[in-house]
Amino acid sequence: MKQIDLSLYAITDENLIKPENLAEAVEQAISGGATVIQYRAKNKNSRQMYQEATVIKKVCDKYGIPLIVNDRVDIAIAVNADGVHVGQEDLDVEVVRRIIGFDRILGLSTKNLEQVKKANSLPVDYIGFGSIFPTTTKENAKVSGIETLKEVIKLSIQPVVAIGGINHKNVIEVLETGCKNVAVVSAIFGSDDIYSATKKLKAVIEKGR
Amino acid sequence: MKQIDLSLYAITDENLIKPENLAEAVEQAISGGATVIQYRAKNKNSRQMYQEATVIKKVCDKYGIPLIVNDRVDIAIAVNADGVHVGQEDLDVEVVRRIIGFDRILGLSTKNLEQVKKANSLPVDYIGFGSIFPTTTKENAKVSGIETLKEVIKLSIQPVVAIGGINHKNVIEVLETGCKNVAVVSAIFGSDDIYSATKKLKAVIEKGR
Ligand code: NI
């Protein structure tokens, strides 16, 4: 499977970033230390998604940072993204893998130990796990907590990216479980100074990892 | 480009057909004379779309009728559909063609003469044109009328599929313009007896074509 640094995984949010600020926001996140960008949009048409993903891809390419597209395999292929991330309500990873081949990264969201266990035998490159803490980004996200994350780290044969309500204050708790990768949305894109917010988070991760 | 009989082009509608009735509805439409099925869904997640498109594909394969997926190139590839149909808010046809290659059908919705003219130099296999009549299926659909359709038929080098508010009563007006293909949604899937509604429409088309 493809090598990828998942340690500071930044996910875009259409409610936090205005379309006209997307390139700048992603550039700040990357400059601050984001190691991978995920483009996620749930309320845009295909044309808008393609345009936005194209903009982000250009920034990612400039810095040699991989771009992963959430859910939409067609958009990922259309902009030549480095990978696709799917959730439990998206296409099956076997189906996605058949379409994208083995040159692109494939990630899967998991929410409980059963899904983590199942993912051990699926053709994925990493799993997301969460929500670790309560979050405002995803409504009704089930909180799994640090104790469950410890079990996930033991159970999973895939790299694990912790997600959900993680910020520079609580990220140390995540890293103490042995988890080496964190995904953030509002902790950086909800900040007025995305660069500094990312840099602050990055510093804690590099120290605690 | 691929050969396809577009004469009675049936488009599914998630507001008219319950998910559990989808296979039966499509089978009735095909038995009644539909020559091509388009799967269209705007309010479903990728997993649901894949499942529904898979169900429809099975019915289409049973009768040797092509399946075209609206907008979602990834779903089309995932279920091995015969083609993709995109609108002006979807991916560019050049981008879609690059992804699907030339073995799959590619259709494009057009709404005015300018778009029809432009489509003459695009890598599409057919164009949709409408709305011909007022329709309840698409909110705020602009009505173009029979007179404009006449011009479209003269202007387009692509096969034209007329769409929008067409039923067994007014379809003769459409055919009299020289247009040989009609797309319908509610005229058949809005009927209590989809088979009979399709058959009635088919009879007029075969006579008037
Ligand atoms: Ni800048």
The predicted model gives A154-159 an average pLDDT of 97
Q: Which residues of B touch A95 (CB under 8 A)?
A: 50, 78
What pLDDT does residue B2 have?
Answer: 64
Contacts of A98 in chain B (CB under 8 A): 78
Average pLDDT over residues B169-193: 97
Question: How far is the CA of B122 from the CAs of A85, B106, B156, in angstroms?
Answer: 32, 10, 11
The CA A13 to ligand 1 mean position distance, Å, reads 19
Interface test with A, best of B74, B84, B104 (most A CBs within 10 A): B74
Instruction: Please check whether residue B107 is in contact with residue B2, taking contact to mean a CB–CB distance below 8 angstroms.
Output: no
Nearest to A99 among B45, B48, B77 (CB): B77
Question: Over the stretch B58-69, which tens digit does the pLDDT of each residue have?
Answer: 999 999 999 999
Q: pLDDT value at position A95?
A: 97
Residue B3 reports pLDDT greater than 60: yes
Interface contact A99-B45, CB threshold 8 A? no
β B105-110/A105-110 pair status: unpaired
Instruction: For an interface test with B, give the residue of A40, A47, A49, A74 to mutate (most B CBs within 10 A).
Output: A74
Predicted pLDDT at A39: 98
Where are the alpha helices (H) located in chain B, listed in sequence order?
Answer: 22-32, 46-63, 73-78, 93-100, 113-119, 145-155, 171-175, 186-189, 194-208
Q: Which residues of A touch B (CB under 8 A)?
A: 45-48, 50, 71-75, 77-78, 86, 88-92, 95, 98-99
Backbone φ and ψ for A164, nearest 5 degrees, come out as 110, 100
pLDDT exceeds cutoff 60 at A204: yes
Q: Specify binding-site residues of A.
A: 38-42, 70-71, 90, 109, 135-138, 165, 185-186
Confidence band, pLDDT 50/70/90 cuts, at residue A2: low
**pLDDT at position A117 over 90:** yes
Residue of A nearest to B95 (CA): A78
Give the nearest partner residue to A74 out of B47, B48, B74, using CB atoms. B74
pLDDT at residue number B6: 98
Nearest to A50 among B72, B74, B91 (CB): B91
The predicted model gives B27-38 an average pLDDT of 98
Through-space distance between the first and last CA atoms of chain A, rounded to whole angstroms = 23
What's the whole-number average pLDDT of chain A? 95
Closest C-alpha among B2, B1, B10 to residue B184: B10
Tens-digit pLDDT profile for residues B100-154: 999 999 999 999 999 999 999 999 999 999 999 998 766 667 788 899 999 999 9
pLDDT of residue A50 exceeding 70, the answer is yes
CB contact set of A133 (below 8 Å; sequence gap of 6+)? A143, A164, A165, A166, A170
By C-alpha distance, the chain B residue nearest A72 is: B74
- In chain A, what are the domains? 8-208 (3.20.20.70)
Name the pTM for this structure. 0.93
Q: Give tens-digit pLDDT for B35-56.
A: 999 999 999 999 999 999 999 9
| Cβ pair B91:A99 closer than 8 A | no
How high is the pLDDT of residue A112? 96
pLDDT at B89 over 70: yes
Q: What is the mean pLDDT of residues A23-42?
A: 98
Which of B7, B109, B156, B191 is the catalytic position?
Answer: B109
Average pLDDT over residues A105-127: 98
Task: Quote the ligand 1 centre to A25 CA distance (angstroms).
Answer: 8
| Mean pLDDT taken over chain B | 95
Rounded CA-CA distance B149/B144 in Å is 7
Residue A129: pLDDT above 80?
A: yes
Q: Read off φ and ψ for residue B162, nearest 5 degrees.
A: -80, 140
Instruction: Judge whether B56 and B41 are in contact, CB under 8 Å.
Output: no
Q: What is the pLDDT of residues A78-98, one digit of tens each?
A: 999 999 999 999 999 999 999
Q: In the prediction, which pLDDT does A40 show? A: 98
Catalytic-residue membership of B44: no
> Does B74 sit within 8 Å of A73, measured CB to CB?
yes
